[in-house]
Amino acid sequence: MAFGKTGYTDKCRSIVGALQYAAITRPGINFAVNKVNQYMAKPLETHWRAVKRILRYLSGTLDHGIQIRKSTSDISAFSDSDWASDLDDRRSTTGVCAYHGRNLVSWCVKKQTVVARSSTETEYKSLTQAAAEVR
């Protein structure tokens, strides 16, 4: 596929746009979709391969997704981070999910706003975000 032509670029952008909607109920693809979306101004063939990989993952996991079930009213949150994981700018990635009983009600995966000096600092920033989520 030649990405110098406008038609292919538009097709890639259209698919990534649709994947952003799919990411609402599929938090497992959220980070990958947003990462690919950062390069949609001028996508390359490597980005198209990443989009195809996401589509293959979705086709193999059609029965996955967010389900709401009757459960207790306990509120809990979990967080994790990956120190300096982005090779482009060395920023860390934070992931947070909040539950109401067994039901996932909120989640967030994003790059931290500043470059952390240690993995401990990255984890503290992630924990702070999780605490703010359940507040």
- For residue 131, the tally of other CB atoms under 10 A from its CB is 12
pLDDT single digits (tens) 2-52:
555 556 788 889 999 999 988 877 878 988 999 999 999 888 889 999 999
Task: Name which residue leads in pLDDT, 86 or 82.
Answer: 82
Task: Name which residue leads in pLDDT, 71 or 39.
Answer: 39
Residue 79 to residue 72: CA distance in whole angstroms? 21
Residue 19 to residue 9: CA distance in whole angstroms? 15
